[in-house]
Amino acid sequence: MSKADPSSFVSLDDFEQYAQANLDRNALDYYRSGAQDMITLRENQRAFDRIIIRPRILRDVSTIDMRTNIQGVSISSPICIAPTAMQRMAHPEGECATARAAERKNTCMILSSWSTTSIEDVAATTTQGNQSPKWLQLYIYKDRKATQRLIERAQDAGYTAIALTVDTPYLGRRLADIRNRFRLPSHLTMANFSDQKSQVSQSKTTSISDNASGLATYVASQIDPTLSWKHVEWVKSIARIPVLVKGVLTAEDAKLAVEAGVDGIIVSNHGGRQVDTAPATIDALEEVSLAVDGRVEVYLDGGIRRGTDVFKALALGAKAVFLGRPVLWALNYNGEDGVVEMLEMINEELRLAMALTGCVNVSDIKRDHVRVLPQARL
């Protein structure tokens, strides 16, 4: 497959196949792995196949408008970019290329706090005053001052929300990374912590990370496992921008999140990378949206690979969806242009799905447009 001939790609899977043949094993395994037996990873995609679309006919679908609002900001479609760490392993321009692609498509990008480009450099690569929202993904680090500083840096650089990841008190057990003894290549750094050079190559082990990848060891040394609802309230108390929680999978936690005052919820199982056999996100979405009952916006990530997947997530209560791995594959294929091409492809698929189901606006996509088949046994 040649980069000069983008038309040879007909689905998001083609970007993945390209990257599988092109990336080195350390990076490829890190990007593609799920936790343990990778059951949740597979379910994230398979569960969409158990949802049937109920098309409506004869509704003049000559004009389709996919625009929507998230956190009060208009974007061109409900397809956004999830935070993924260390994007410069996929392409030398990494997070900057992704940010420019998001801006070109007028959609939202969430930057990982463990990015290989700094918050400020990512902001500077996009046009000043552009309305495409950039959000910062945050972990609660043991170093509370550094955590607070990240929030302040994001605000100063024009990021408009914080997505606080709540499913990673420790890193999930990703077998390939353990076998490979995952390492961040030595020419790259966790750029938001540039005062701590080459941290991911430290080999110090702790009880939880014995026999772990370099990454699990690093994460265990940095992330605060005492993370609890009071930390969510703490982030809310210092942030001047909306705070979302990323990693909710149950109605119980969705209610607690609303009570803690969050501005939005991302239904996520971290791309199947944390606790294996957790539900597929599309299977968890409806109980969360029913529990939230419109009080805050609900979003979903995990396994979205087709326009019909986006359609199903919207029908079951998501205001928008976020793509993780497809962005990495597209970045590896052709940097900024690759990510634009991938986004255009899945947006066109959504446009067609809407047209073929009689929906001219995203608000026309209703619960009645889907039927969920009984869940298969894992």
Ligand X SMILES: CC(C)CC(=O)C(=O)O
List 91, 187, 231, 270, catalytic entry: 270
Cβ-based nearer residue to ligand X, 174 or 369: 174
Annotated binding-site residue? 305: yes
Q: Is 85 in the site for ligand X (CB under 6 A)?
A: yes
Q: Which amino acid is at 356?
A: L
Interaction mask 106-145, ligand X, x per CB under 6 A: --------x-------------------------------
Residue in the block written with tokens 């690759």: 338
Cβ-based nearer residue to ligand FMN, 315 or 328: 328
Q: Is 279 in the site for ligand FMN (CB under 6 A)?
A: no
Q: Is 159 in the site for ligand FMN (CB under 6 A)?
A: no
Annotated binding-site residue? 148: no
Residues β-bridged to residue 321: 79, 300
Residue 114 CB contacts under 8 Å (≥ 6 apart), including other chains: 85, 86, 139, 190, 192
Annotated binding-site residue? 335: no
Interaction mask 305-324, ligand FMN, x per CB under 6 A: ------------------xx
Cα dihedral across residues 371, 293, 306, 355: positive or negative: positive
The DSSP annotation for 255-324 comes to HHHHHTT-SEEEE--GGGTSSTTPPPHHHHHHHHHHHHTTSSEEEEESS--SHHHHHHHHHTT-SEEEES
As a whole number of Å, the CA-based R_g of the chain is 20
Buried b or exposed e, range 329-351, using 16+ CB within 10 angstroms: bbbbbbbbbbbbbbbebbbebbb
Q: Which amino acid is at 141?
A: Y
Give the C-alpha separation, 378 to 359, whole Å: 33
Of 134, 270, 306, 325, the one binding ligand X (CB under 6 A) is 270
DSSP assigned state of 105: T
Q: Is 173 in the site for ligand FMN (CB under 6 A)?
A: no
Annotated binding-site residue? 172: no
Q: Is 372 helix (H, G, I), strand (E, B) or coil?
A: strand
* Residue 171 contact, options ligand X, ligand FMN, none, Cβ 5-8 Å cut-off depending on partner type: ligand X
**231 is known as an active-site residue:** no
Q: Is 36 in the site for ligand FMN (CB under 6 A)?
A: no
Of 32, 273, 306, 325, the one binding ligand X (CB under 6 A) is 273
Q: Tell me how far, at minimum, the Cβ of 167 lies from ligand X, in Å.
A: 9
What burial class does residue 235 get, using C-beta atoms within 10 Å of its C-beta: 0-12 exposed, 13-18 middle, 19+ buried? buried
Q: Is 333 in the site for ligand FMN (CB under 6 A)?
A: no
Annotated binding-site residue? 83: yes
**Which residues bind to ligand FMN, rule: CB under 6 A?**
30-31, 44, 82-85, 112, 114, 137, 165, 246, 268, 270-271, 273, 301-304, 323-325
Q: Which residues are catalytic?
A: 270
**Which residues bind to ligand X, rule: CB under 6 A?**
85, 114, 168, 171, 215, 219, 270, 273
Task: Please state the residue numbers annotated as binding site for glyoxylate.
Answer: 30, 139, 174, 270, 273
